[in-house]
Amino acid sequence: MKEFQLKYGCNPNQKPATVYMKDGSELPFKILNGRPGYINFMDALNSWQLVKELKEATGLPSAASFKHVSPAGAAVAKPLTDVDRKIYFVEQESLSPIASAYIRARGADRLCSYGDWAALSDICDADTATYLKAEVSDGIIAPGYTDEALEILKTKKKGNYNVIEIDPNYVCDPQETKDVFGITFEQGHNNFKINEDLLKNIVTKNKELPEAAKIDMIVSLITLKYTQSNSVCYVKDGMAIGVGAGQQSRIHCTRLAGSKADNWYLRQSPKVLSLPWKADVRRPDRDNAIDVYTSDEYEDVLRDGEWQKVFTEKPEVFTAEEKKAWIKTQKGVTVGSDAFFPFGDNVERARKSGAAYIAEPGGSIRDDNVIETADKYGIVMAFTGMRLFHH
C-alpha cells in the first residue's frame, strides 16, 4: 500500500486527508482491521518509536498507552503482584511478558488511558488481546499478531477496532519535514540514543544509583522523548506512574505528573482496595468512582446519594489527612524531566511523591540551588546534558 485515504484530518472539516510516503514507496505498515484516523496514526507512530526504543535500551518487552500524541503510560514487562491484579482488574490467570507490560502501561493512569492507542514492542499474543478486549481502546500497533490475538481484536468495537502491523525493520529518513501554516520546516530526526551511559554524571552528594533506578531513569527519559513538551515523568518499578505533558511551566509539569503518581499510589491504599463494589460495575465506572473517592468531591457524592450506583454499602470518607499520610509512605520513585529544573521547587514537589532519583539535563543558571535541594533530601540526581523536547 502506497497511500491511505483518511476520513478527515485532525478535525472533520480538514479534508482531504491522506497518509503516504514522500518518495512514493510502500508504507511501512499494514492495516489489518478498522480504519485508523489522522490522530490514530499520530499516536501509533509516536508510540511505536517509544516502545521500540524502550525494548532496545532495556532488553525487556515494552508497551505504551497513548492519548492525543502523548503517553498516558509506558512500562517494561514485570510480573504483576496480587495488588497489581486487583487495581488493574486482571481476571485472567495467564499473562505473558508483553501482556504484563501493556497492563502496567495502561495502569499508570487508567482515566487518561480510556480510549487509548496501545503500542507493543513484541508480537501481540492472545494474553494481551484478551485483556485489551475488555478495555475501552481505539487501536493498537505492534510488529505482528498471533492468529488467535488477531481474531480476538477483530471482535472489538463491533469489528471496527483499529489494528496496525508495523514493519519492525523500518528506519525513517534522517531528515524530516513538517508544514505549519503553509511553511515547511526541516530538521534531523531525533535519533539520540538513551542508555545507561547518559546517567554517569551524578551531581549530588548521594551517588548510589542501583540498577533498578537506572532502568527507571531510562523509562522516564524515553517516555519524555515522545511526550508533548514541557514534560515531566514519574517512574517506579519500570513503569511510568505519572506523566505531566504540554505544560508551559516546569513546576506545573512536576505538579501534574506528581498528582497522577499520587493517584496511582492511592489506588493501592487499604481503603480503595476494600471498596464494596456492586458485581455489575464496569471497569471505566470503577475507575471514575475511584477517582472521585480519592478526591475532595467524594463528600458531595455521599450527600447526593450517587454512591449507591456503584457500591453495595456506603464507604467511609477517605480524609485528606489519611490520604496525605498514605502518600508519604511512597518511596523509591524516579523523576525525569525533558529540560532542566530552573528552581529547587521542582525537587521539593517531586520529593512529596516519593522521589529518590532524578534525571534532568542540567544547564540552569540555578543548578546549584537545584542540586542543594536534592542534597537536602538525599536524592540522587544525574545531569544528562540532553534536552528532550517533542513537538
Dist. CA 142–CA 125, nearest whole Å = 10
Q: How far is CA 241 from the centre of its chain?
A: 7
Q: Is 390 a catalytic residue?
A: no
Q: Which of 238, 311, 271 is nearest to 55 (CA)?
A: 238
228: left (phi over 0), alpha (psi -120 to 50) or beta: beta
Identified catalytic residue from 33, 230, 263, 346: 230
CA atoms within 13 A on the CB side of 271: 18
Q: Which of 102, 29, 39 is nearest to 72 (CA)?
A: 102
Q: Is 230 a catalytic residue?
A: yes
Dist. CA 120–CA 64, nearest whole Å = 7
Dist. CA 45–CA 50, nearest whole Å = 9
Identified catalytic residue from 22, 158, 331, 391: 391
Dist. CA 256–CA 271, nearest whole Å = 23
Identified catalytic residue from 52, 67, 214, 236: 67
Q: Which of 194, 168, 170, 189 is nearest to 57 (CA)?
A: 194
Identified catalytic residue from 68, 78, 133, 271: 68
Cα-Cα end-to-end distance for the chain = 28
Q: Is 68 a catalytic residue?
A: yes
Name the maximum alpha-carbon separation found in the chain.
63
Q: Provide the Cα torsion 378, 383, 387, 389; round to 10°.
A: -20
H helices present in 139-282, as ranges: 147-153, 211-225, 250-266, 270-273
Q: Provide the Cα torsion 263, 267, 272, 278; round to 10°.
A: 110
Instruction: Please check whether residue 137 is in contact with residue 117, taking contact to mean a CB–CB distance below 8 angstroms.
Output: yes
Q: Which residues does the annotation mark as catalytic?
A: 67-68, 230, 391
